[in-house]
Structure formats: C-alpha cells, structure tokens
Amino acid sequence: MYIERDISQQLLKARTSIQILLGPRQCGKSTLLSMSYKKKNFQEITFDDLQLRQLANQDPALFLQQFPPPLLLDEVQYVPNLFSELKIVIDKLKRAALVGSQKYETLFLLTGSNQILMDKNIKESLAGRAAYYYLNTLSIHEILNALPKTSIKDILFKGGWPELYTNNTLSPVTYINDYIRSYVEKDIVMSAGIQKLAEFHTVIKLLSARTAQETRYTEISNNSGISSVTVKEWVGLLERADLIYLLKPYHNNLNSRLIKSPKLYFLDTGLAVRLQGWSDVTPLISSPQIGALFETLALAEIVKFMRNYNKDWELFFWRTKDGEEIDFIIKTNAHTIHAFETKLSIQNIPKTITFPTAFKEEFSTKNPLIIITYGGKKLMLSSQCMTLPIDHLHDYLLTL
C-alpha cells in the first residue's frame, strides 16, 4: 500500500535537472520519488550498498558512465565526491541543448537523510542546479486521506512513520526503539563526532519531556551533567536532522513585555512519546503530558503543510512575561495575521474566549482566534473565536 504524499504535485512541477529531497530516515523519501516518477523509468540506486558507495566516491565519472540518467540516488550524503561530477554532467547536457531553455527535464532525483553531511557536500557543488524539498513523516491529512478510520489518538501515539500504517504487523514501540538506536544514536551521533552517547540519549529524553515548552538549556544541563553550551549544540544538530523544530517567539525591539526564548517541538509525536517512555496509548491519553503532545501534533501538522505546499509563511508563538499567550501565529505572504490555540478538551474552552488584551494592542486582525481541538466540530463560538478539529486543520490552511 502506498500513501499519497501532499508534496508530490510540487515535485512534479519542478523545472530543474536535479531534485533533492531531504528528511529523516524512513519518512518515505525514496518511495515518494519512485512513485511520483514511476512512468519515467528512473533507475534506482541506494548508497547503503557499500560497493556502489565506494565506486561513486573513488571514480564518480566511471560510476555515471555505467549508470546514466535518469537516476534516483538514495542516501547521497555518503558519496560527497559524486556531487562535482553531477555538476559537470548537467553543464555538459545544457551545452549540448539536451536540457535547454525551452525544455526542462529532471534527470537526477537525490535523497539524503543526514543533513549534517549534506550541508558539507551539496550547497557549493550544485548551487543553481538543484531544487530542494523537505519531507518529514506523514501528516494527519495524509494518513486520514489513505486510512480514514484511523483515530487521532493512534496518530499521536504512533507518529507518522509510513511503515507503521502500511504494515499492521509492526509494533510501534519496537519500530521506534530500533529507529532511535539505528538513526538517532548512530547516524547523527557518528556524523557529528559526539563521544558521549549515553549523555546524548539522556539529553534527548529530557528534551522529549519538554516538547512544546520554552528552551531552557541551563535546566537540561543541570539534569544531564552536560554543559549548557553542549546542550545547545546538540539541539542544533537535532534541528538540522529535522527531528525537532524551534518555534521562534514574535517580538519587536519596542516591546519588552514579550518572551524572547524559542519553544522546542518534536516534529513527530511518535518519537517524542517513545522517548518519554510510553508503551501504551491508554495511560498516555490521561497523562499530564498529553496537552503538550497534542500541541506538538498541531505544530507538526502546520510545519508539514507549509513545506508540502511551499508556503513562504512566517510562524511564531506569542507570549508576554505576564503569561498572556497565543500558541501559534501564522503571518502569510499578504502579511495577514492568523492566530491559533490548541485545546485538547472542548470542555476547557471558555464560553467568552477572546484575544488577550496585549495581543490586540500588538496586532490589528479581523480573523478569528482558531481553537484547534482534538474532536468536535468546526464551530463559531463568537465573532472572535472558532473551534477547529485537528483533522480539519489541513483544509483550513488551504484557505489562507
């Protein structure tokens, strides 16, 4: 079973010779490209194969002679010497008018799961010759579009790992445990040269317990025995690996009342849930962590939407030092402000909810405050407030 990805139409509209799809391992990158271009007969090569990896690094020209385009090259971070040769091939084809100003054809599809290694190898070699796209795990919309009977609580518990939805025999706990060991604690740690594996694991677990909270490096340092400087560096690595997202606060230099530290979110709730130690969805739903995890699920849905549809929006949170807050602010290309709050329980929504006073002083928006809820219906509570079930969030964002 293949689950259709929202980003696929954006890929097919690309007008570049090389497309590069970045994202964590096992989020579906190579499957997406293979299915999107199945009529184009791309030959698929993975550089998890050590023999092919060695050939591409030692003699990239010979490699491309044996494997001419169109090619789908998987995990290209392992073959840094290939990028300069790809540049030469593309430039020759352009000069030969095989790919000219009147005709664009994608010849190389590349995937990479280790952003740390990719940063070192790609940006200079393929500047101006490649289009970059970012894929993460499945969104709520993608899951429900393929499997409409899936519950939100199951999505929150399992996250968006495609294999957990296409193979019912897999255990989410075992699958994500293996993922943490093989990717988070191997690829990221080794490529970054981290020596303290146990301490790194401790820091990740502490971060998972603080998803949807402001980043407090000193607090994590005190609980892990790792310096706050190193904790901040490791957070940066996890951000580059696209496992976490640092949501910036909205502030201006004239308003000293606003919080200026970012909030940290995991981009897949399944990973956060497993790192927190939950092995069953039932106790999780009634735990103190569920509110922050639901907010994390909503943030991930917004971020994935923006990437899948190439929305150049600005995303913030807003909070004053007095405790007034708005979970998410989206500033669209038209500079229009859209404000969102998350509420797991509909019963907890005040009947007369409105924008905080300081927020109304800061912004002049005619759009209602959107309360993202676990369930219920899309409903106007007042002229300034509307409830929106999280499974309707994708369609609402399409209207902005």
Q: CB–CB of 89/66 below 8 Å?
A: no
Q: Are residues 107 and 196 in the same domain?
A: no
299 and 168 within one domain: yes
- Give the CATH number, domain containing residue 48: 3.40.50
Asked if residue 149 and residue 129 are part of one domain, the reply reads no
The answer to whether residue 91 is domain-embedded is yes
On whether both 35 and 58 belong to a single domain, the answer is yes
Q: Is residue 309 part of a domain?
A: yes
Domain shared by 89 and 149, yes or no: no
Tokens of 303: 């971020």
Phi, psi of 211 (to 5 degrees): -60, 140
- Same structural domain, 257 and 190: yes
Do residues 82 and 184 both lie within one domain? no
Residue 70 preceded by cis peptide, ω within 30: yes
Residue 47: Cβ within 10 Å count: 21
Residue 121 inside a domain? The answer is: yes
Closest by Cα among 341, 249, 257 to 295? 341
- Where is the domain boundary, 134, 163, 189? 134
Q: Does 239 fall in a domain?
A: yes
Q: Which domain holds residue 68?
A: 8-134
- 317 near 345, Cβ under 8 Å? no
What lies within 8 Å, CB to CB, of 246 at 6+ separation is 215, 235, 239, 262, 263, 264, 265
Residues 192 and 276 in one domain: yes
Distance CA 178, CA 229 (A): 29
**Is there a contact between 216 and 144 (Cβ–Cβ < 8 Å)?**
no
Q: Is residue 106 part of a domain?
A: yes
Same domain, 290 and 330: yes
Same domain flag for 272 and 359: yes
94, part of any domain? yes
pLDDT tens for each residue of the chain, 400 residues long: 899 999 998 988 877 889 999 999 999 999 999 999 988 889 999 999 999 999 999 999 999 999 999 999 999 989 999 999 998 988 887 777 555 554 557 889 999 987 777 776 666 678 778 888 999 999 999 999 999 999 999 999 999 999 999 999 999 999 999 999 988 877 788 777 888 888 999 999 999 999 999 999 999 999 999 999 999 999 999 999 999 999 999 977 656 677 788 999 999 999 999 999 999 999 999 999 999 999 999 999 999 999 999 999 999 999 988 888 999 999 997 779 999 999 987 666 666 678 888 898 888 888 999 999 999 899 998 888 999 999 999 999 999 9
Number of compact structural domains in the chain:
2
pTM of the model as a whole: 0.94
Of the candidates 117, 134, 151, which is a domain's last residue?
A: 134
Six-digit token string for 191: 């490529």
10 Å CB burial of residue 101 (0-12, 13-18, 19+) is exposed
Asked if the structure places residue 2 within a domain, the reply is no
Residues 392 and 252 in one domain: yes
C-alpha to C-alpha distance for 147 and 391, rounded to whole angstroms: 13
Q: What is the sign, positive or negative, of the torsion defined by CA atoms of 291, 294, 298, 303?
A: positive
Residues 121 and 159 reside in one and the same domain: no
**Amino acid at residue number 184:** V
CB-based burial, 166-192: b 16+ in 10 Å, e otherwise:
eeeebebbebbeebbeebbbebbbebb
Domain boundary among 101, 134, 167: 134
Residue 1 belongs to a domain: no
